[in-house]
């Protein structure tokens, strides 16, 4: 926390912290593979950009935050781990005014994570479309990874209530945005397609890595506005995210995608991603 390592039972924030009271803060989820933090610089760039967008001054430099991430993983003896990096607005009064807060909190939590059971990676996910729309970018930019995830949580609840561990979210125009915690890709006629940033998505770090891997493999990868019809009639579909990595989708809203099993492009990019993170 801030500039020192503390055991879990001593890691405390004020009940007046605006991160707790209003979801006023930003965060990142980061992976470590074989003792190496995956794309730490990209995660920190996004963290600091999110903070600037909400006028939150992070009290540590990027170098200091990077060192804190590395030291926290080492202190927990985690070579293959997951880091949750948070910055809160700090403690203030019982009111919205952010200028009345002080001492922003920089918190690094190191642990392990297993988002989905192994069989979902082997057999693929079933997902449904949530009625909850992705927050409009005019209301709050989806490129800000803020502590307020209620929009995503409500959609996640819809998925769980339908017996699915993930749910698809559309934007206010009815276009495909992303899932509650992951970006989405579809393979159609040999092309790999994913919604563009203006569809209301968080530009995922894993998403970017997979797009780079696709380009290196000669796969035609494009950002393109998509609707559910494009997914229903696709040949393959998969999700990407820091915690999820790359995971196939074989059914959406009761429609079987392609052959109903993880497809060759999905498998190729999954293998390429695993190769990338274990180099």
Catalytic residues: 145
Other beta carbons within 10 Å of 25: 26
Per DSSP, 99 falls in state: G
Q: How far apart are CA 109 and CA 208, in angstroms?
A: 24
Q: Which two tokens stand for residue 192?
A: 């790999």
**Strand pairing category for 220-223 and 167-170:** unpaired
Q: Which two tokens stand for residue 188?
A: 């159609």
Q: Which two tokens stand for residue 249?
A: 């989708």
Q: Which two tokens stand for residue 182?
A: 């992951």
DSSP codes of every residue in 207-238:
HHHHHHHHHHTT-EEEE----HHHHHT-SEEE
Three-class SS of residue 119? helix
154 half-sphere exposure, CB direction, 13 A CA radius: 9
Provide the H-helix boundaries in the chain: 18-22, 40-53, 62-75, 118-123, 150-161, 205-216, 228-232, 264-277
- Counting Cβ atoms within 10 Å, is residue 115 exposed (0-12), middle (13-18) or buried (19+)? middle
User: Closest Cα partner for 2 from 87, 102, 92?
Assistant: 87
Q: Which two tokens stand for residue 69?
A: 């991430």
């Amino acid at each position: 926390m801030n500039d020192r390592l503390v055991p879990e039972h001593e890691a405390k924030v004020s009940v007046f912290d605006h991160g707790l009271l209003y979801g006023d803060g930003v965060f990142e989820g980061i992976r470590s593979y074989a003792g190496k933090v995956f794309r730490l610089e990209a995660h920190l760039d996004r963290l600091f950009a999110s903070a600037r967008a909400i006028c939150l001054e992070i009290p540590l430099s990027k170098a200091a935050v990077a060192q804190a991430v590395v030291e926290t993983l080492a202190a927990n003896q985690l070579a293959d781990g997951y880091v949750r990096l948070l910055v809160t607005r700090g403690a203030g009064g019982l009111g919205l005014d952010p200028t009345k807060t002080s001492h922003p909190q920089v918190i690094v939590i190191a642990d392990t994570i297993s988002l989905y059971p192994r069989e979902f990676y082997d057999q693929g996910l079933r997902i449904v479309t949530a009625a909850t729309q992705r927050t409009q970018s005019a209301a709050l930019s989806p490129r800000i990874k803020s502590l307020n995830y209620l929009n995503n949580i409500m959609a996640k609840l819809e998925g769980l209530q339908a017996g699915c561990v993930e749910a698809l979210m559309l934007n206010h125009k009815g276009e495909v945005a992303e899932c509650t915690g992951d970006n989405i890709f579809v393979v159609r006629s040999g092309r790999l397609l994913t919604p563009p940033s203006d569809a209301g998505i968080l530009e995922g770090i894993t998403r970017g890595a997979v797009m780079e891997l696709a380009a290196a493999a000669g796969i035609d990868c494009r950002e393109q506005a998509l609707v559910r019809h494009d997914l229903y009639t696709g040949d393959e579909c998969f999700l990407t995210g820091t915690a999820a990595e790359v995971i196939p989708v074989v059914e959406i809203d009761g429609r079987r995608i392609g052959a109903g099993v993880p497809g060759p492009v999905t498998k190729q990019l999954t293998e390429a991603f695993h190769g990338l993170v274990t180099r």
